[in-house]
Amino acid sequence: MGPHERMYLAHVPGGGSPSGGWPVVLAFHGGGSNPERMADFSGLSATADQHGFAVVYPGGTGIIEAARTFNAGNCCGRAMRLGIDEIAFVTALLADLSGLMLLDEQRIYATGMSNGALMAYHVADKLSHRIAAIAPVAGPMGFATCAPAEPVAVIHFHGTADEFAPFAGGIGKKSVSKTNFYSVEHTIAAWVSANGCALTPRVEELPPAVDDGTHVTRHVYDGGIQGAEVVLYQIHGMGHTWPGRETPFPALGRVTHNLDANEVLWEFFQKHPKTKAAVANGRPKAGKK
């Protein structure tokens, strides 16, 4: 596959399509990774089998097939330097997917790790008529501002000991891309404003289930437009990892076992389908493409 050829990996549970079509979770890989690695890193395919949704792992671009990136604003790599149009790619991906199976247009979601988390924010901003909710992990917004045409619910997971995409922003001690990341605070504030949520969150310390050096603080900004929420899971002591999922890469830092991101994000997604009006407004008019 050439450096600019695009592909995606789709995992669809057995047993036939739900009557209303398949809910879909787009799961964007991190920089220097690929769809197969993202499937293994996140474990989302097993979650999809358990709960009955399709998970799609989009592939970035790059010279090395095993190490690809997405252009998601200020990150990352060759994709960013060449100005790859990722929104055109995701739009084409969804069109291709809808030709292969019936999609539940009210339940198209996105998640991603690191560079993929930036992509989740990017598609939420630019494709807000398609994306109902997002769950970025270990990556902030890649742009200074956002202006989604429709509200998009957000649930964000981030470790305070992340040395690749620091919670406070800036260049991580272990960063390969040397991206000067926006902070989680900047990102959450931007989406709280865009979604019209309460400016002051409800803050809850979650009792740790295991003593693994991590604990979790949940910040909930609710009361948004069309019921939109912004929820931040601040995971103290966690590194650049996927909550609840072991990693073979110890350099990424500590994993938390006090939170299962897959279960939490799917519960959140179920609460936040896209409204029928938003879906109808986003559809191409008859006779037009």
170-224 residue pLDDT tens: 999 999 889 999 999 999 999 999 999 999 999 999 999 999 999 999 999 999 9
Residue 261 in domain:
yes
Q: What range does the domain containing 238 cover? A: 8-279
SS3 251: helix
Give the per-residue pLDDT at 67. 87
- Say what the pTM is: 0.95
Give the per-residue pLDDT at 248. 87
Residue 101 in domain:
yes
Where would I find the beta strands (DSSP E) of the chain?
8-11, 22-28, 54-58, 103-113, 133-137, 153-159, 202-206, 215-221, 230-236
Q: Which residues of the chain have pLDDT under 50?
A: 284-289
If one counts the domains in the chain, the total is 1
* Structure-derived torsion over alpha carbons of residues 269, 271, 273, 275, reported in degrees to the nearest 10: -150
Long-range contacts at 124-128 (CB < 8 A, ≥ 24 apart): 124/148, 124/152, 124/154, 125/152, 126/87, 127/87, 127/90, 127/91, 128/152, 128/278
Residue 286 in domain:
no
| Spatial separation of the C-alpha atoms in residues 97 and 119, rounded to whole Å | 19
Give the per-residue pLDDT at 65. 80
Could you tell me whether strands 153-159 and 133-137 are parallel, antiparallel, or unpaired per DSSP bridges? parallel
| Spatial separation of the C-alpha atoms in residues 48 and 62, rounded to whole Å | 28
Residue 1 in domain:
no
Residue 123: how many CB atoms within 10 A of its CB?
27
Residue 194 in domain:
yes
Residue 48 in domain:
yes
Residue 130 in domain:
yes
Residue 92 in domain:
yes
Which tokens go with 69?
């990136």
Give the per-residue pLDDT at 284. 45
Give the per-residue pLDDT at 3. 60
> CATH no. for residue 180?
3.40.50.1820
Give the per-residue pLDDT at 15. 79
Give the per-residue pLDDT at 16. 81
Per-residue pLDDT reduced to its tens digit, 223-242: 999 999 999 999 999 999 99
| Spatial separation of the C-alpha atoms in residues 22 and 30, rounded to whole Å | 25
